[in-house]
Structure 1
Amino acid sequence: MRNQRRLQLATVGLAAVLTATGCTAAGPADAGGTGGGGGGGGMSAPVPSTSTAPATLPPLSARPVPDRAPTVIPVRAFMALPEEMRFGQIRVGTQFDRAVPPLCGGEFAAGRMAAATAAVVSAYQLRDEPSEGSLWPGVVYQTIRTYNGSGSAAFMRGLRADLASCTSFTRAGVPFRVRTAALSGVGDEALTIDLIQPQTDLPGNPIGGDQINRIVVIRVGDTVTILWDAPYENSSSKPAVVADFARRAVDTIHVWRS
């Protein structure tokens, strides 16, 4: 049975809105990591878990997204986990540089055309896991960023170009491989980024195999969302779970913008 460690969700302030106008540069928490654009200073504290999206989300909206990019990103813009997957608080405000993984450099930097950025973190449990004992919670971060003009498409082009030259790196002595693939049928365009490192036990001893954690980056009109299924107790992502998160995130953005 794995040792239980509860996620310590740091919170900043208490507000219904996660960010105000504009973006500011935010440096990485790790000196070897990414230069994150669009800091999330002054973002919200825990949002009550009773604030939910529909249990069964509607199909993707066919209604067009308005041309003007929002400069405020409300809590309701972020996906809410289904009730049975919640493990403690959901949609807790966090800083942008904690919500994306450091890669080779500044791949997730916002760029000049960004209008607003906000990020949250949620702990979750798997539906097919027991509710006590051996349960381990997963941790998913979500960033939402809005762009003026063609900024969102420009960000995606720049990200793909950066990732083409970022296939491996070493951080804190650990070698990482980066695997990128296009993701069809989600938003206007999307891609998956897998971070692959040697699998270890909790003390850090190699046990063979790979640990793989997935990021999904999706553009929905002038909005970009980044989902990071982060490692927790050396766990790997479950692709089907992350795919469900991606669909929910896109549906929720459509509802917000319509």
Structure 2
Amino acid sequence: MSAELPDLYRSLGAAVDDQELAPPALVRRRADRQARVRVVGTALAVAVLLGGVAVGGRLVLAADGTTPLPPPADTPGPVPTTSTPTPSTSPSASPPSSPRGTPSGTPPAATTGAATPRPPTSIPDRAFFVLASANRTGLESRIEGPPLPALCAARYPSESAVVQRRGRYLAYKQSGTPQGYVPAGSYRHTITIYRTGRADDALRELRKAVRACPEQELPDDGARTWRQRLLDPGRYGDESVLFEMRAAYPEGRGEPGTDEVRLVRVVRIGDVVTVLWEQGWENTSAERAQVDADSRRAVAAIEDWLD
């Protein structure tokens, strides 16, 4: 410090009477602090000026249609008003599965069912069954006429639904019957092709006719009363009907107190219906076991024909 500064303090002290002045060291510290404050203020002013220039430049670029620059790293961005959904990481979140057996996104191939076979229009000879060798008599012939017995006033089935019908008559014998003995019974066997969807109508009409005719007198059979009833048909073809006709033997025929029994089985295979009407032989009665066995043969012959 120069010698003039103490002298100046002394002269100032005399001028301000008895007031005590701050020592020179304290004055110098205050001067240094004021100088630092001026430097910091100048730096802040320069920073504010540079920031204003940068922001102004971005606003000018945005007004010209140019994509604005991102804000400075130390400038907080705007607070978002909506949240952006994030993909779920839950195990249950999985893409939709594709149809079984096809790649994802590939439509399944169109399924094609088997072509529906066309119904037959004619009946060949091979559609008729052949008796077992032990039951053959060699008595067989073609016949015409109704395939079923009359049942009161019923008219069945509708002939307008028939495409073709063929019939035959054949006699059979019991197994083990010696040569030269009379047959044990006979069949009126018919096969009918119905129009598509009408064969089941024929069986339905037949069941209704049997139920509606529990008994009747046949005009060509004297005064005998025949009783009709449905029986358990068993499993034959697509569906079947079995009914019996029962009447007392005429005087002097058959065992006293016994009935003569006729059995009629009707089987549908698709649009084809086969009928076995057991008619006996000289007042013999039908046996269920024989009719069942021949019914199976009749169904098998038609299935072989239709395959």
TM-score range, shorter chain: 0.5 to 0.7
Q: 1:140 Cα deviation (Å)?
A: 1.1
Map of 1:11 onto structure 2: none
Number of residue pairs the alignment of both structures matches? 191
Q: 1:1-258 to 2 correspondence within 5 Å? A: 67-90=117-140, 92-97=141-146, 99-133=147-181, 135-171=182-218, 172-200=222-250, 207-258=256-307
Contact residue 150 and residue 222 of structure 1 kept, 8 A? yes
After superposition, what is the alpha-carbon deviation per residue over 1:51-98, rounded to whole angstroms, capped at 9, x for unaligned?
Answer: xxxxxxxxxxxxx996433221111111111222111233x210123x
Provide the identity percentage: 27
Q: CA deviation at 1:161?
A: 1.4
1:92-148 alpha-carbon deviations (Å, 9 max, x no partner) = 210123x53223234543442221111111111110333334x43421111110111
Instruction: Indicate the structure whose relative CO is greater, using CA pairs within 8 Å and at least 6 residues apart.
Output: 1
- How far off its partner does 1:186 sit? 0.8
Residues 184 and 204 (structure 1 numbering): CA distance in 2 closer, same or farther, change over 3 Å? Answer: closer
Letter in 2 for 1:104: C
> Structure 1: 5+ residue runs without aligned partners?
1-63
Letter in 2 for 1:192: L
| Cα distance between partner residues in 2 of 1:220 and 1:170 | 32
**Paired amino acid for 1:120:** R
Maintained 8 Å contact 1:119/1:141: yes
Contact map agreement 2:263 2:277 (CA 8 A) in 1: yes
Work out whether residues 200 and 207 of structure 1, in 8 Å CA contact, stay in contact via their aligned partners in 2: no
> Is the 1:200–1:206 contact (alpha carbons within 8 Å) kept by the matching residues of 2?
no
Alpha-carbon separation, structure 2, partners of 1:85 and 1:232: 14
Deviation at 1:162, TM superposition (A): 1.6
Partner Cα distance (2:189, 2:156) in 1: 13
Q: 1:77 corresponds to which letter in structure 2?
A: A
Q: Please, what TM-score do these two structures have when normalized by structure 2?
A: 0.57
Distance 2:303 2:292 in 1: 17
Q: Deviations over 1:173-231 (max 9, x none)?
A: 11000011241311111121101000236x55882211111010111111111101102
SS of equivalent to 2:230: strand
Asked if structure 1 preserves the Cα contact closer than 8 Å seen for 2:156 and 2:205, the reply is no
Counterpart of 1:128, as a letter, is G
Q: Over aligned residue pairs, what C-alpha RMSD do you find?
A: 2.3
Residues of 2 paired with 1:158 and 1:138: CA distance? Answer: 28
Aligned partner of 1:230: which letter? Q
> For structure 1, which segment, 181-190 or 226-235, has the greater mean C-alpha deviation from structure 2 after superposition?
181-190
Greater Rg over alpha carbons, structure: 2
- Flag the structure with higher helix content: 2
Cα distance between partner residues in 2 of 1:213 and 1:163: 14
Determine the C-alpha separation between the residues in 2 that align with 1:136 and 1:193.
Answer: 23
Q: Name whichever structure is richer in strand by fraction.
A: 1
How far, CA to CA, are the matches of 1:136 and 1:113 in structure 2?
35
Measured in 2, the distance between the counterparts of 1:192 and 1:156 equals 10
User: Would the alpha carbon gap of residues 176 and 142 (structure 1) be closer, same or farther in structure 2, given more than 3 Å must change?
Assistant: same
For 1:61, the equivalent position in structure 2 comes to none
Q: CA 1:65–1:187 in structure 2 vs 1: closer, same or farther (change >3 Å)?
A: farther
